[in-house]
Structures are given as C-alpha cells and as structure tokens.
Amino acid sequence: MSTLASPLRRTLTRNESIALVAFCTLLGAAAQVLMKIGAERLRTVGPQAILSNPLLVLGNWGVMCGLALYGVFTLLLIFALRDGELSVLYPVIALNYVWVTLLSLLIFHETMNPFKLCGITVIVLGVVVLGRGGGR
Amino acid sequence: MKTPISSMLLVALGSFIGSFGAVFLKLGSEKLRGGLRNILNFQLATGVALYLFSSAFFIFAIRNGELSVLYPLVSLGSVWTLAWSRLIFKEPLTRYKFVGLFLILVGVSFLGIGNS
C-alpha cells in the first residue's frame, strides 16, 4: 500500500508538474468532446422528455464519461498544484484550447485556418517559455 | 454580431472568481502531502465550488457575444492568478512568466478570431 502511494507522496519537479497539467488539459478536452457528443444526443431526446425523466442524463454515456474525466482532471491538477508554482501551472491550462481545436478537427471535422494554427503555435510557445523559467 | 458589454463583464467576473478557485485548490493541495485520504478538505471543496460557479458565468455570457472577444477574456483568469501567486504564495515573478503568459494570451486571442 505504501509503495502504491509513494509516487503521489513524492515531490514532483517543475517540468513533471507542467507535464502533468498538460496531460490534464488533454483529459479536459476529451471530457468536453464527450459532453458535446452526449449533449447532441440529448438534443434529439428533447427538453420535455428530460424534464419529465431526469434519469435520462444519467443514462447518457457521453455526459457521464465527460463528468468522470473532469473528476480525474481535477484530481491530477491538484497533485500538480501541490508541488508546482501556481503562477507557472495556471497559464498552462490554456493548452486545453489547443487540444480542443485539434480534437474538433479529428472528431467533428471542423476546419483549420491560419488564425487557429497561429494561435496553437503561440500558446505552445508560451508554455515552453514558462517551462524554461528559473526557480525549482 | 456585436458582443454586449454585459457578456464581457460576466466573463471578466467569471475569470476573477475562477482565479480564487485556483488559489483554494493550491491551498488544499498542501494537505495531500499526508496522503490521498486527505482529499476531502474545506479548501479543495471551496476551490471546486468556485470553479463550478465561474463556469456558470461563462455559460451565460457565451450565449450572446463573439468568441474572438470572450476567449481572451476567459484567459484573464491567468492574469489575476499571477497576482494572487505573488501576494498569497510569495512566488517570484520572473520575466519568463510574463513572456509565457503574454504569448498564451496572444495565442488564445488568435484562436478566438479563428473560431468566430
């Protein structure tokens, strides 16, 4: 049991906590995609049916998996925050936008344009700069 | 489509509340050093509650308004958080942090334009 808990008890280095937040944002983006898929399904059900039977939401795998992923997202984010600087890690959450844009291309066949490409590149560059900064 | 001032204020306020969510998560995360069983604590619960509260602001704001304007405003949360990191957690503010944050804000603005 103690060996199981040890990676969570160990202090993470700054780059490890940044990597953990980056992974969190991927989970967050996946959660948003699942919620969108679930929400679209609920739309075909209609608001009246949902109001008369709220359990329909509980049976919607997209929404439920999305919520569960959000739970994991929050848990891992807390572990990253424990060891890292808030001023470094909080801006890294913006990587969420990057993953959402990429996943939307793949899954919802949204189009890429120069502005999006530029945005993704500059955000990633910003995260790299945060990672290179001094401190622990 | 024009973005009403009310939507901008809602997003700015939401990002402000959300930044306090980050502060409480950071405060509560300290207790995890004692192990995962300390996951349920007042600070973490407050942090999560503030996050949920702030997303309600975003949902209402995004109903009318342009993403190109509202996206960067959401990221204002990082600017507030930078201030709290300095004031509450005494973290040093380095040039890297300012440049990194600036680049991220610019990038998010570009994404906002690309999505609208």
* A86 → closest Cβ in B85, B107, B112: B85
Q: Which of B64, B60, B100, B55 is nearest to B79 (CA)?
A: B100
Residues in chain A with CB shorter than 8 Å from the CB of B71 are 97
DSSP letters for A12-60? PPHHHHHHHHHHHHHHHHHHHHHHHHHHHHHHHH-HHHHHH-THHHHT-
B19 contacts in chain A (CB < 8 Å): 90
Question: What gap in Å lies between CA A61 and CA A119, rounded to an integer?
Answer: 32
Among the residue ranges A25-29, A61-65, B26-30, B59-63, the one predicted with the least confidence is B59-63
Phi, psi of A11, rounded to the nearest 5 degrees: -80, 130
pLDDT per position as a tens digit, B1-19: 677 888 889 999 999 999 9
Q: Tens of pLDDT along B62-71? A: 777 787 888 8
Q: Which residues contact A5 (CB under 8 A, 6 or more apart)?
A: B35, B36
B83 touches chain A (CB under 8 A): no
Say yes or no to pLDDT of A134 above 70: no
Smallest Cβ–Cβ distance between B29 and the set A81, A121, A126 belongs to A81
Question: Looking at residue A136, what is its pLDDT?
Answer: 46
Cβ of B107 within 8 Å of Cβ of A79? The answer is no
Q: Max CA-CA distance within chain A?
A: 56
Residue in chain A nearest B23 by alpha carbon: A86
